[in-house]
Chain A
């Protein structure tokens, strides 16, 4: 397995292979594109091809160098990613192991277990210490391979100081060093940093490609197709969704909507109360599921076709909803849900946000005017 491990992204593959072929390497690359489109796997593959003992455009995947890079054990491949300041060694090692096993995995600190003294999630950033250690290491001669390869994943987590400290190194690094920065938000990087890199753009993956990748990972046709739709071009997200029981979630969201529409307040309250018992990430998933339903309803009203729906298999449900509740202000409901999602994102109180959201949705379903929170 060489470059085929990268899902889609033919243009990127060609570009990188061409650069590898003649070893016409820029000193620093920026891989950017929508999240989960394969920047990290591509960076790892690139590093593997650079260190491969055969020295061709494709990594052989058999030599010791290739295997070491794959396991993230190669001494001349520095894989850095942002971590919260309070993350323990084991937690960081666990993330590395996850990355080694599945390059498409989401680097996700928000789902880690929280303890008493660590009640809040710290933001994951690059620390100055990491950058300084890197700058020291990079000026040494490579131990084994022909290059010193530095992968900075999620480079948008480089803040002011850390980014500035990299500028000079990035512009004129030692001769055998190759930097690869990856980010889904290039607009957050310093312009001076951006201008020192050669950009490689990743496209969002099409649903067909994600579906294929999911099936290659052992999923059935129907589930793969639905997950691909829900993932919106983000394979990492699709893989994360696998870990939650999304179809039960989908039913639950629909039941909530029904409870709201029929005014069964007790049921609604039960649903709301559950919101404070589950983790924030789970809650976000749950609200998003509801968002998908609303989107489908809205879309079905404009264009009653299964094409483009998140849940194309549920089209009868959509039709029934519109028969029973014609003329509901779906725009207002979607806006309310988006605001709630944003509030959760910003650490709003889960119970209050969900309660307010329920009441607003209920009003909208009764065709009363819904006002914004702002």
Chain B
């Protein structure tokens, strides 16, 4: 017989041969047994999980005169064999992708009226139904709702979201699932036994993983493996045939990154390209490798890592060496590079660059620690009491090198452990600098809890507000202009609330709140920290701009009575 690929040769012919779709099989079988068939079915699901196959089995089952009690087709009567050889007159398989116009559907509608000749049902299997044009879908609606009693429609598609909802609601829908690795392996093993192919267990796993939930994909990888390796499929050969990268390379990459050895990285790339490696495949493998490290680090053990025992040990070791944030950054580089590679004229250059960048990463502070630090800094700043005139006491922030009693994260032990050496941030911070040093955290943090010495009455703030703006104007005209549009409303527990007319004022002033606080304290003495809130009542300063010119004139006349009198006296028309 003519050779066929495994996916076609081993296409299931009976319900019980279907793999991994028990929910569909059981329902359909019961429907066939009890004769309670819907007139239209929609099979949806990813590629290669058995939609068309199931449709064909169902078509055979409803037409088979010698159906078994379990609802299986006999596969030997003329009706069944006709289907198997593709000659059946009552089972019509239509490729909706190439017959997707209204005219095709009209033709189909006309044919539907003719009853089947020798079988109880006339079955239409419409494959790739998502490609029908919307006019074609609509032309089908009435037929689909009330077809002749002998007609059975089966639609199959990988993209049910493209099918009109009016079609969906007229069909009984079955969602096919991805096929699990273990089901795929079981099926592959069967096929190998029938083909007389010896295959290693590891190779089976690899093929099933490559299939990615689709049995057809897995079987076509198997074909690929057989045509490369012959009748004995070995893991090592398969890895080469599929162009996978040996995991040792990834461990070497992380090792280079850990030691920050850029030259070694370049050597590695040289070697990889000498072996004719596919850079995209390599990066995908590297991403998986980094993911393994990340998972081991997050979960604290390696049970979620899909790797051999020996590799798991190595992952556990690596997990201790890399910070979570660094792994994220490396993954970022990998995914950016993978994306850029698709359009890059020189993949090799890009790969070299990505790996060298990884090897020269500065170690990051974990984000939570940074946030915590920021938070502490802010609290310290906000709770400061008046004395900005007195010079802030300058106790330097303990550097990680002196090993001062700061939290765990910058202990020398940690610095030594991390592959990147002491974090760059600390090195910068520990440098003593004069002048605009950020106010120290220690000390002021202690003061934070102390109540405000002598809260200033709100009335005084309100009454002296214009003078205060004048005071600010001497320092910063811009700030004063911004403040002029605002007014203080009250003192609450959160601080001095100042109403601003629009989000722009609010944002800009909030950015300047520390400076403003200084001005406030210099002018009023001890005062709660300012908070800028949005106010609806305040007129926006931009409003006059959008006024119509007559309105504008009226407003000006109200504002300047002299103007009104001049216009009355001499008569004037606005020119605009």
A contact residues vs B (CB 8 Å cutoff): 8, 11, 14-15, 18-19, 22-27, 33-34, 131-132, 135, 161, 164-169, 171-172, 175, 185, 187, 191-192, 194-201, 203-206, 232-233, 284, 288, 291-292, 295, 298-299, 302-303, 307-308, 331, 334, 338, 341-342, 345
CB < 8 Å: which of A195, A232, A302 contacts B356? A302
Are B131 and A161 neighbours in the complex by a CB distance under 8 Å? yes
Whether, in the assembled complex, B321 has its beta carbon less than 8 Å from a beta carbon of chain A, the answer is: no
Instruction: Determine the chain B residues whose CB is within 8 A of the CB of A166 once the complex forms.
Output: 97
Are B224 and A199 neighbours in the complex by a CB distance under 8 Å? yes
Instruction: Determine the chain A residues whose CB is within 8 A of the CB of B278 once the complex forms.
Output: 33-34, 201, 203-204
Are A165 and B276 neighbours in the complex by a CB distance under 8 Å? no
Given contacts A11-B240, A197-B220, A204-B277, contact A341 B345 (CB under 8 A): yes
Report the nearest A residue to B4, measured CB to CB: A27
Are A15 and B227 neighbours in the complex by a CB distance under 8 Å? yes
Instruction: Determine the chain B residues whose CB is within 8 A of the CB of A194 once the complex forms.
Output: 47, 217
> Whole-angstrom distance from the CB of B185 to the nearest CB of chain A?
18
Instruction: Determine the chain A residues whose CB is within 8 A of the CB of B95 once the complex forms.
Output: 165, 167-169
Instruction: Determine the chain A residues whose CB is within 8 A of the CB of B243 once the complex forms.
Output: 201, 203
Instruction: Determine the chain B residues whose CB is within 8 A of the CB of A11 once the complex forms.
Output: 228, 240-241
Are B353 and A334 neighbours in the complex by a CB distance under 8 Å? yes
Report the separation of the CA atoms of residues A323 and B340 in the bound assembly, to the nearest whole angstrom.
32
Q: Give the B interface residue count (CB, 8 A).
A: 52
* Residue interface mask B129-168, A partner, CB < 8 A = 1: 0010000000000000000000000000010000000000
Whether, in the assembled complex, B364 has its beta carbon less than 8 Å from a beta carbon of chain A, the answer is: no
Instruction: Determine the chain B residues whose CB is within 8 A of the CB of A15 once the complex forms.
Output: 224, 227-228, 241
Report the separation of the CA atoms of residues A223 and B218 in the bound assembly, to the nearest whole angstrom.
45
* 27 pairs from A and B in contact (CB 8 Å cutoff): A8-B276, A19-B227, A24-B3, A27-B5, A34-B347, A164-B98, A165-B97, A165-B131, A168-B98, A171-B8, A194-B47, A195-B48, A195-B216, A198-B223, A199-B220, A201-B241, A201-B243, A206-B276, A232-B348, A233-B273, A284-B345, A288-B346, A302-B263, A303-B262, A331-B353, A342-B343, A345-B343
> Whole-angstrom distance from the CB of A205 to the nearest CB of chain B?
7
Report the separation of the CA atoms of residues A292 and B345 in the bound assembly, to the nearest whole angstrom.
11
> Whole-angstrom distance from the CB of B573 to the nearest CB of chain A?
49
Whether, in the assembled complex, B77 has its beta carbon less than 8 Å from a beta carbon of chain A, the answer is: no
Given contacts A167-B97, A167-B128, contact A25 B242 (CB under 8 A): no
Are B346 and A291 neighbours in the complex by a CB distance under 8 Å? yes
Are A308 and B266 neighbours in the complex by a CB distance under 8 Å? yes
Q: A15-B224, A22-B3 are in contact. List 17 more A-B contacts (CB 8 A).
A: A11-B241, A15-B241, A19-B227, A164-B128, A165-B98, A167-B95, A168-B128, A169-B95, A169-B98, A172-B86, A203-B278, A288-B345, A291-B345, A295-B349, A295-B352, A299-B266, A303-B262
Given contacts A11-B228, A299-B352, contact A195 B217 (CB under 8 A): yes
Whether, in the assembled complex, B127 has its beta carbon less than 8 Å from a beta carbon of chain A, the answer is: yes
Report the separation of the CA atoms of residues A54 and B348 in the bound assembly, to the nearest whole angstrom.
43
B contact residues vs A (CB 8 Å cutoff): 2-5, 8, 46-48, 86, 95, 97-98, 127-128, 131, 158, 214, 216-217, 220-221, 223-224, 227-228, 230, 240-243, 262-263, 266, 269-270, 273-274, 276-278, 340, 342-349, 352-353, 356
Instruction: Determine the chain A residues whose CB is within 8 A of the CB of B262 once the complex forms.
Output: 302-303
Number of A-B residue pairs, CB cutoff 8 Å, is: 138
Given contacts A185-B342, A203-B278, contact A168 B349 (CB under 8 A): no
Report the separation of the CA atoms of residues A298 and B223 in the bound assembly, to the nearest whole angstrom.
45
> Whole-angstrom distance from the CB of B511 to the nearest CB of chain A?
22
Report the separation of the CA atoms of residues A192 and B97 in the bound assembly, to the nearest whole angstrom.
12
Residue of A25, A168, A232 with most partner-chain B CB within 10 A: A168
Instruction: Determine the chain A residues whose CB is within 8 A of the CB of B158 once the complex forms.
Output: 191-192
Are A164 and B347 neighbours in the complex by a CB distance under 8 Å? no
Are B5 and A303 neighbours in the complex by a CB distance under 8 Å? no
Instruction: Determine the chain A residues whose CB is within 8 A of the CB of B217 once the complex forms.
Output: 194-195
Report the separation of the CA atoms of residues A169 and B342 in the bound assembly, to the nearest whole angstrom.
30
Report the separation of the CA atoms of residues A338 and B240 in the bound assembly, to the nearest whole angstrom.
33
Report the nearest A residue to B218, measured CB to CB: A195
CB < 8 Å: which of A198, A204, A288, A291 contacts B227? A198
Report the separation of the CA atoms of residues A33 and B279 in the bound assembly, to the nearest whole angstrom.
11
Instruction: Determine the chain A residues whose CB is within 8 A of the CB of B3 once the complex forms.
Output: 22-25
> Whole-angstrom distance from the CB of B354 to the nearest CB of chain A?
12
> Whole-angstrom distance from the CB of B390 to the nearest CB of chain A?
38
- Shortest Cβ-Cβ A-B pairs, 9 listed: A164-B97, A203-B276, A168-B95, A165-B98, A195-B47, A192-B47, A26-B5, A303-B263, A195-B48
Instruction: Determine the chain B residues whose CB is within 8 A of the CB of A185 once the complex forms.
Output: 342
Report the separation of the CA atoms of residues A168 and B243 in the bound assembly, to the nearest whole angstrom.
29
Report the separation of the CA atoms of residues A194 and B48 in the bound assembly, to the nearest whole angstrom.
10
Report the separation of the CA atoms of residues A303 and B267 in the bound assembly, to the nearest whole angstrom.
9
Report the separation of the CA atoms of residues A265 and B61 in the bound assembly, to the nearest whole angstrom.
82
